[in-house]
Structure 1
Amino acid sequence: MATLPQLEAERLFRLDHHRLAYLQQEPADPQQVRLLLLSLAMAGCSNRQIAEFSGIDTLTVRVLMTGDRAWCSRLQQVRAEAACEAWGINPDMVVRKRAPAARIGR
């Protein structure tokens, strides 16, 4: 089982409802979210699973994956990044476009 670096673990402990509410209202870059969602789809996730993981409704998931723009929150982006991690995809590599479906060994 992978462990979190100490800094990341400390950041998780500092999350509270105020920070989560802020992330829910803060807009995310739809292009970055789109890349994360596409990577999940390429890894075998269904649109329904992607919607559940990210908190983005299935219609918006489809809109984003077709290349159109749609509003999504930073919290939804963070959830999509976490889903990528769970599926063995490095979200940093996806967002930076170095390797759109970069997979980490399970």
Structure 2
Amino acid sequence: MANVVFSGTVKKVMADSPDDNKSSMYKGEIEIKRVFKGNDIVNEVANVFFDQVRNHKMVMVDGFGDPHICESKIHSGDTKIFMLNKGYNGELRLNSSIMPITLTNLEYTEAVVKPSFGV
């Protein structure tokens, strides 16, 4: 049900409070590795940084630490699969639990978001 699905690495966590025990939500800056779904939305909201090897697409994501989502906490350096929706304010927002990067999860994610054609 997410509008945007990608794998990426957390580059920066912007918590309102340094107290990790506080249950407030926070934002994170994510470097995108691979977009599975919602490439148009990603291109609309991403900041692109160029270097000699590759283009870095960075996005700001809100909703980490949401108590209604089981796996919603991040740390700098985490590489995960993120499922997001574009919020009313134009920012990306966490839609469901963050998935760890495993071969099974990558294959499953690709299969789920791949458009299916009638058989």
* TM-score, L = length of structure 2: 0.27
Q: Which has the higher helix share?
A: 1
Pick the structure with greater CA Rg. 2
Q: Taking structure 1 as the reference length, what is the TM-score of the superposition? A: 0.29
Whichever structure has more strand as a proportion of its residues is 2
